[in-house]
Amino acid sequence: MIGIFDSGLGGLSVWQALYDALPNESLIYLGDGKRCPYGSRSEEEVRQFTEEAVERLLSEGCKLIVLACNTATAVAIKGLRDKYPTVPFVGLEPAVKPAALTTKTGVIGVLATERSLQGDHFRRNEEKYGSEVKILKAVGEGFVEVVERNEEHTSETEALVRKAVEPLVAGGADKIVLGCTHYPFLRDVIARVAGEKVDIIDSSEAVARRVATLLDENGIRSDEGTTPRYTFLTFADEAYREKLFNKAFNR
């Protein structure tokens, strides 16, 4: 069983990529829900919440864990790999590299949470590619909250998106990187605001490929024909657990 963790609903964008790419694998998704969003919380809080989630997933027998949360990855993945050296972990970080290598204008935009933009993963990528391209950054203020409320297609949400995205486009970005797993649920409105000349990039498919590689490298891929099970857990209430299930399958 593969464990997938996020602060809430956002990691379901990664869940969907794994569901499509690995049809024989059982997936167990843990969306905190109770303490979402993580993006503006302290590092100590994020680390504590993530460790609690990983312990829960390991107690369910997970053979590999995906931190489907850019903020949790930025804060906690190194400590988790040190603490559980036999468990394969896959984290998320803004896809700066593919954006930097394919931009035609020499300018890319990164939409992410405050904590992700402050994390070591992003800083290393910014240092590595920032000398080759101009990297514009924006915090998706309110993005996580509207996804949690299933309000992706309201006029209020479009106003939030415009506030964050229009300065990136005005600055010349022809690639916009989605640096939070909640943000792909806003992909349609982001693309509409950004315009047809701007490519929107997220990491979900790359994560699925990395998971497949680790399953093979560790000899833990499920056999062909295995009937998968899909489980949803939360630290919130039953209504939130049902919300996770519904968003996972109602794309």
Active site residue 62: no
Tokens at 243, concatenated: 């919300």
Please tell me the distance from the alpha carbon of residue 88 to that of residue 83, in angstroms, as a whole number. Answer: 12
DSSP annotation string for 95-124? -HHHHHHH-SSSEEEEEE-HHHHHSHHHHH
Residues recorded for the chain: 251
DSSP character at residue 35 = S
Q: In what order do the strands lie in the sheet with 64-67?
A: 89-90, 64-67, 2-6, 27-31, 230-234
Active site annotation includes 36: no
At 200, which helix (H) or strand (E)? Answer: strand 199-201
Q: Which residues contact 102 (CB under 8 A, 6 or more apart)?
A: 175, 199
The phi and psi torsions of 4 (rounded to 5 degrees) equal: -130, 130
Q: How far is CA 63 from the centre of its chain?
A: 20
Catalytic residue among 136, 180, 198, 244: 180
Catalytic residue numbers?
Answer: 69, 180
